[in-house]
Amino acid sequence: MAIKDENVDFFKLVHAVVALIPKGRVTNYGAIAKYLGAAKSSRMVGWAMNASHKSGEYIPAHRVVNRNGLLTGKAHFENPDKMQILLENEGVKVKDGQIIDFVKHFWDPMVELVI
């Protein structure tokens, strides 16, 4: 216990960024990865999301989609439809698993968050 409390895992960073995503906004894996300084680790972001389930905190993974604005991770939710519903509930229009006007709703941590 308390041996590696301050251990900064990549997951933790990803969780932190995802948790900072404003309501009604969405982002993609690459942007988060880039913000963390690992632009080529976009896959790790998705991996972190997978671990977010085990994480005690709530991670709005539904606000994270792929570069195409497609809800690729919906299958990993408890209910695949829930991801779309959550987004629509926040004002993000989703059609057939894809975000409409993804660019409008896009939230770039590099821009919104001070580096």
Interface ranges with DNA (CB under 7 A): 9-11, 28-30, 38, 40-47, 49-53, 61, 64, 66-68, 72-73, 75-77
Would you say 50 or 113 has its CB closer to DNA? 50
Q: Could you tell me the smallest distance in angstroms from the CB atom of residue 37 to DNA?
A: 8
Task: Identify the residue whose tokens are 């308390």.
Answer: 2
Q: Least distance from C-beta 39 to DNA, angstroms?
A: 8
Query: Which residue, 61 or 94, is less far from DNA as judged by CB?
Result: 61
